[in-house]
Structure 1
């Protein structure tokens, strides 16, 4: 009778996709973890009722993992929210509440989720911190979906604070139209040149991609992970900076927000590495000239995960929970390997210009689509173990993960609780450093996940990233917008 019941359940379930299986490999057992700050204390009963009408409509969040033979299946199950929504008792007068939240979040990385129930949980910490009156911590296994789909799902279960019945509004991408060419001959020439350039860039990027799999490894720096880093406990920190400052730099330099964020990251990492490696023996400041010569020869690259789905509006993202949604759920990600320049620059705007040059070059390449296709092919031809080994090799031979996610433009509420910040990140992959950016109203949240034995103070790195933004913004206002005080 037991075997008959299991067979009946499997017939109603869904086989786990090969891409999702990758995230259960021992070397790629990855989780998405997102902290959410609330302006008010969090009422667990209200949250549970809200989840019942939103998150529990999604089949991935109401299914458990069951092995049938050698194949894993998603099997529908009854969800007991008391098992998934965890509310620890906390002393309201605790010393250093922000440190307590960081330690609590770090401790979550020590234990896996219980596979006998759906692979997600929500921890509600009613403790007053510098930025909130309460904190929610989502932990979701990466096999349930990629970062884009999971963060989109999280946003889709929120509502505008000004209108509790409306979904959040995300910034729309504006397309700029190029002026028409002067002649049909000119148009044909530009089209041919563009296609040849696209093919050349893609070939160069894929050669670098395969070289990274085979032998091309980043230099060993204080932020480069060592063997087994994917299994270690991680620490997390986040910092809110001014989105308006980022927009000032974007407009004045005629670049994108992503260009600015990548420039800030390069500048911040240059500051950080020069500080911890380039100090004088008597405790003085950085020996910039000597360190710059050393850092000039350092190979340091970021693995950037790209969502290869067609862009979707927030309503379509919310509709991912529907069975016949046009927006594909799951893990639809390709890789782009991006080189970083680490030398200290006399002109801090050079970091942004370098970033723009690199990103413009990468935009004119099919690297993300090709790497996504290669991953699917490796899974079909060689199986999950080989595909996982290849993915691990790519990440291990690079230094960090970098991503930028566009968030709501107005204040949102989660189950009636006004949100002060959103800070998503991931862990379980072979990087000692992960940097995520997410915009929210007039703020940009920088989230870092680190291996504490290599990067013992993630707040120091946040300080350098914030200081880099301030320095770049100051120079922009003084040189490109002189009328701004």
Structure 2
């Protein structure tokens, strides 16, 4: 009997020790390698999102909603703690009590003197000021600004600001969406577009041709594997060269972040029709991402041609000014590449995050991201659809490469060998030698509400990395929002760049419609 009692006591002690260990692990989590890099001075990155609201914001309702959702997420209720043990510095997330009023800011805006046009300028200035103010590391690294400001496309505006170490863009967007509900049904989570990846080739296979098909299929698999190896080796060599010496052409949109560690950034955005993009996608048999990359390539070509033309025009004097100017003022062999961040782990679902915040369940989280270096073909073309074809050809080749995974693994390897500072310097140098950043995320297909506040648009972007231009596209309902984060000392007219994107979309759509009418 005594022996049985002793065994029960031992089992209970083991169980209690296990529970205490799990609680301690939950209370304190070390930063992932990517999160540590995002805290390095050379690569201190933030995510910022402007959300247009259909009606006046009720701060008390939003605060109560945050208490029931966002602050239940471990990263949004943990602060960053730096420790030094035996000459080794460690960084951990430590759970803390969240004072919600420290994170929700409601500025006093004197709106009586602000008209619609001035409201847009005020919002841009407000967001620009936020890019200069770092978040306080003594608190969880996020803020929500609620602005009682009426603009041309929203009754009020909310601005979310996160530190990038909290998670990658897809995780953070999924988390924000998990805090939202459908306007048509406040009990339902937002619905994202379903992507059908099934192949139609197998449906065309007949019983008599299966033997031949297997040989063809085997040949294609082997050829695809060979090309993947060759593409990966080529991309790895290019990335290594970019980190060491291979620089993009010095263009009017390429900044030099070696001159200053911290710069004021400007966020501007424009909303276009997603239906127009889908029309082009369906006609050209492409993806939405192919289309927006092609339109972006056309936009950058048009913008740079005009800038170079204006510079050349200033140098030409006399009556034969126009005759001396060439029709194409773009430099030859212009190298312009974009760094594209790629999420490498299975996407965390909105339902998973909603369950985690509501029930305390666990789900995947963190920064598991690699890089793709995407070259834009900058030139003026008689056929605007050629921009789409070239962009699709390039991105299809990048898909058949392990470049993103390789850069991620190489980053972890360098981190273990040389530490955060060396890793951040290498990444900073590689990114600095490219021209811009680009990303594209899908959003809800129906109208959603943020704690009962219907949303009109979402414009997200990133700053803190060494680029003067970052372009982020976000779909929502039947709209696509293009958000640009720019260094105003390099790109002083970002709205003009948005005009060119919108005009390029219009030209491409017209060419697609003309092509469709010809083939009918």
TM-score by length of 2: 0.88
Aligned counterpart in structure 1 of residue 38 of structure 2, from 6, 10, 23: 23
Give, in angstroms, the shift of residue 324 of structure 1: 5.0
The corresponding residue for 1:192 is 222
What is the rounded CA distance, in whole Å, between the counterparts of 1:395 and 1:320 in structure 2?
35
* 1:204-224 alpha-carbon deviations (Å, 9 max, x no partner): 111111111111111111111
The corresponding residue for 1:291 is 329
1:146-157 correspondence runs (5 A): 146-157=168-179
The corresponding residue for 1:135 is 157
What is the rounded CA distance, in whole Å, between the counterparts of 2:180 and 2:519 in structure 1?
40
What is the rounded CA distance, in whole Å, between the counterparts of 1:206 and 1:110 in structure 2?
35
What is the rounded CA distance, in whole Å, between the counterparts of 1:440 and 1:468 in structure 2?
21
The corresponding residue for 2:301 is 270
The corresponding residue for 1:101 is 123
Give, in angstroms, the shift of residue 183 of structure 1: 3.7
What is the rounded CA distance, in whole Å, between the counterparts of 1:119 and 1:269 in structure 2?
34
Aligned counterpart in structure 2 of residue 61 of structure 1, from 76, 80, 83: 76
Contact 1:170 1:314 in 2 (8 A): no
Change (3 A) 1:230 1:100: same
Aligned partner of residue 98 in structure 1, secondary structure: helix
* 1:315-358 alpha-carbon deviations (Å, 9 max, x no partner): 234446576534x2111111000000111111111111111111
Pairing 1:325–2:362 present: yes
Contact 1:88 1:125 in 2 (8 A): yes
What is the rounded CA distance, in whole Å, between the counterparts of 2:283 and 2:517 in structure 1?
7
Aligned counterpart in structure 2 of residue 76 of structure 1, from 95, 113, 138: 95
Give, in angstroms, the shift of residue 234 of structure 1: 0.2
Contact 1:98 1:129 in 2 (8 A): yes
The corresponding residue for 1:461 is 497
Give, in angstroms, the shift of residue 110 of structure 1: 1.1
Q: How many residues align?
A: 474
What is the rounded CA distance, in whole Å, between the counterparts of 2:260 and 2:372 in structure 1?
21
* 1:142-198 alpha-carbon deviations (Å, 9 max, x no partner): 111111111111111111101111110001111131335634332322221111111
Query: Cα RMSD between the aligned structures?
Result: 2.0
The corresponding residue for 2:292 is 261
Give, in angstroms, the shift of residue 117 of structure 1: 0.7
Aligned counterpart in structure 2 of residue 36 of structure 1, from 51, 54, 61: 51
What is the rounded CA distance, in whole Å, between the counterparts of 1:203 and 1:168 in structure 2?
40
What is the rounded CA distance, in whole Å, between the counterparts of 2:50 and 2:326 in structure 1?
37
1:85-96 correspondence runs (5 A): 85-93=104-112, 94-95=114-115, 96=118
Aligned partner of residue 265 in structure 1, secondary structure: helix
TM-score by length of 1: 0.94
What is the rounded CA distance, in whole Å, between the counterparts of 1:11 and 1:166 in structure 2?
29
Aligned counterpart in structure 1 of residue 265 of structure 2, from 234, 246, 259: 234
* 1:289-331 alpha-carbon deviations (Å, 9 max, x no partner): 4424x1x3111100000011124543234446576534x2111
Aligned partner of residue 66 in structure 1, secondary structure: strand
* 1:3-55 alpha-carbon deviations (Å, 9 max, x no partner): xxxxx989931122221111111111110000000000111000000100110
What is the rounded CA distance, in whole Å, between the counterparts of 1:72 and 1:311 in structure 2?
25
Aligned counterpart in structure 2 of residue 347 of structure 1, from 347, 369, 383: 383
What is the rounded CA distance, in whole Å, between the counterparts of 2:60 and 2:519 in structure 1?
53
What is the rounded CA distance, in whole Å, between the counterparts of 1:423 and 1:285 in structure 2?
43
> Structure 2: which 5+ runs fail to align?
1-22
Change (3 A) 1:308 1:288: farther
What is the rounded CA distance, in whole Å, between the counterparts of 1:20 and 1:126 in structure 2?
34
Aligned counterpart in structure 1 of residue 238 of structure 2, from 191, 198, 208: 208
The corresponding residue for 1:415 is 451
Contact 1:152 1:318 in 2 (8 A): no
Name the stretch that deviates more: 146-155 or 172-181: 172-181
Aligned partner of residue 380 in structure 1, secondary structure: helix
Contact 2:266 2:488 in 1 (8 A): yes
More helix by share: 2
* 1:229-267 alpha-carbon deviations (Å, 9 max, x no partner): 552100010000000000010011111100100011111
Aligned counterpart in structure 2 of residue 441 of structure 1, from 477, 484, 495: 477
Give, in angstroms, the shift of residue 286 of structure 1: 11
The corresponding residue for 1:144 is 166
> Structure 1: which 5+ runs fail to align?
1-7
Contact 1:239 1:447 in 2 (8 A): yes
Change (3 A) 1:15 1:442: same
Aligned partner of residue 111 in structure 2, secondary structure: coil
The corresponding residue for 1:243 is 274
Contact 1:229 1:431 in 2 (8 A): no
What is the rounded CA distance, in whole Å, between the counterparts of 1:287 and 1:73 in structure 2?
60
Contact 2:171 2:347 in 1 (8 A): no
What is the rounded CA distance, in whole Å, between the counterparts of 2:274 and 2:324 in structure 1?
30
What is the rounded CA distance, in whole Å, between the counterparts of 2:75 and 2:324 in structure 1?
51
Aligned counterpart in structure 2 of residue 399 of structure 1, from 426, 432, 435: 435
Aligned partner of residue 291 in structure 1, secondary structure: coil
Change (3 A) 1:287 1:308: farther
The corresponding residue for 1:117 is 139
Q: Which has the larger radius of gyration?
A: 2
Aligned partner of residue 34 in structure 2, secondary structure: helix
